[in-house]
Amino acid sequence: MRLNQVTVGCTDYAASVQFYTALGLTQIVDAPPRYARFETPSGETFSLHRVEAVSAPTTVVYFEVETLDETVEALKAAGLSFSSDVSDQSWGWREARLHDPAGNEICLFRGGTNRRFPPWRMDGRKD
């Protein structure tokens, strides 16, 4: 099984497309004002679907970035605001968080091997 894509709601199509393009995603489907799909540099897909409101978002979208600190600094220089700056986490990741124009929480992180193989992994696999 492979995860195909994650879709989040957007309330302002143009602003959301601009936001995710600024994050470094490549837009591959453009169906304004209701739907857009993007592709990451490694080929995963992510999409937006137009909604009237995003109320109390509970989903956090995680994008792993190899050069996290440099990427966050470049995004700040491009005008994006972060709700939490880059910091080391107790679970072995380094991350920063921001919100898209609809209020969806986005986490940019660098997890390395801890992404798939944390020390507390249930099956004990290390690689």
Q: Nearest to residue 38, comparing CAs of 49, 53, 94, 1?
A: 49
Say whether domain 5-52+59-115 belongs to CATH 3.10.180.10.
yes
Lookup result for tokens 């994050």: 23
* All structural domains of the chain with their residue ranges: 5-52+59-115
Q: How far apart are CA 16 and CA 20, in angstroms?
A: 6
Q: Distances from the Cα of 91 to the Cαs of 43, 72, 111, 117, 122, in angstroms? A: 26, 20, 9, 11, 15
What pLDDT digit, counting tens, does each position of 58-102 carry?
Answer: 789 999 999 999 999 999 999 999 999 999 999 999 999 999 999
pLDDT at 39: 96
Query: What is the predicted pLDDT for the residue at 3?
Result: 80
For residue 75, what are the contacts with CB-CB under 8 A and spacing of at least 6?
A: 22, 23, 82, 98
Which pLDDT does position 57 carry in this prediction?
A: 73
Q: Provide the terminal-to-terminal Cα distance of the chain, rounded to the nearest Å.
A: 19
How does pLDDT run across 13-55, given as a tens digit for each residue?
Answer: 999 999 999 999 999 999 999 999 999 999 999 999 999 988 8
The confidence score (pLDDT) of residue 69 equals 98
Reading the block at residue 45, the tokens are 């897909």
